[in-house]
Amino acid sequence: MSKVAIVTGASRGIGASIAKRLAADGISVVVNYTARPADAERVVRDIIDAGGQAYAVLADISDSVAVEALFDQAEVKFGGIDILINNAGVIQPGMVNLADSDDALYQKIFAINTKGTFNTLRLAARHLRDGGRIVNFSTSVVGLALPGYSVYAASKAAVESFTAIFAKELRGRNICVNAIAPGPTATELFLGGKTSEQVERLARQPPLERLGTPEDIANVVAFLVSEQGGWVNGQTLRVNGGIV
């Protein structure tokens, strides 16, 4: 029987690459999206055309009721859930010092990055089959402690705490819970609004002297959800080319 994964924010970028990679490994994928339905359906078509199984589900992960519907639809469509990939998230619109951050910025970032992960983890405790896998998403900005990104980094630092503690709370069920903390990655979301000079400067920062790719991140996710990743639990992996 094929394993089943929910990938949040999977209509483009890193999420789309993860969905396609997991499907290539024989996993049935629920492609979650909040906007851009055409992009989500394109990811589904690409997976099906390659011989995999996928299904798109609209759900705003900051809405607990919508997340319940997401899990219910996954179970109806594929018969169960084994894997949760908490990829959906937002970044700050440029550098904003803490003193200049308003309520709207704080609430938007924490609603999706932190509350969204909280919403899915609560349900995963009830819905994931024993032996399952959970991969949350943090950011290497937590380790870099970059001025101007305090709200964003704080929202993801909470995710790292969720990860370490939730792994222990699921004792006895053989479910591994880990987080990935990417560095600068060449996605539309990351590159938007940056000049070519800014992008070049960021690309030079890691010792490997390039930006990450969505495929770099998807490869690590694929390892963590595989049998080979079964002894990694409660960890945050910085997947960033050595930038921190």
Render pLDDT for 77-128 as a digit per residue (tens, 0 to 9).
999 999 999 999 998 888 899 999 999 999 999 999 999 999 999 999 999 9
Residue 244 lies in a domain: no
Residue 206 lies in a domain: yes
Residue 72 lies in a domain: yes
pLDDT digits (tens, 9 = 90+) for 188-212: 877 777 788 888 888 899 999 999 9
Give me the domain span that covers residue 42: 4-239
Q: What is the share, in percent, of the chain residues with pLDDT greater than 70?
A: 100
Q: Are 148 and 95 in contact (CB under 8 A)?
A: yes
Number of domains in the chain: 1
Residue 224 lies in a domain: yes
Residue 166 lies in a domain: yes
pLDDT number for residue 1: 76
Q: Are 118 and 124 in contact (CB under 8 A)?
A: no
**Cα(17)–Cα(238) distance, integer angstroms:** 18
List, by residue number, the catalytic residues: 152
* CATH at residue 228: 3.40.50.720
**Cα(39)–Cα(133) distance, integer angstroms:** 26
CA distances from 243 to 89, 135, 190, 204, 211 (A): 21, 21, 16, 9, 10
Total residue count of the chain as it appears in this document = 244
Residue 146 lies in a domain: yes
166's tokens: 């939730």
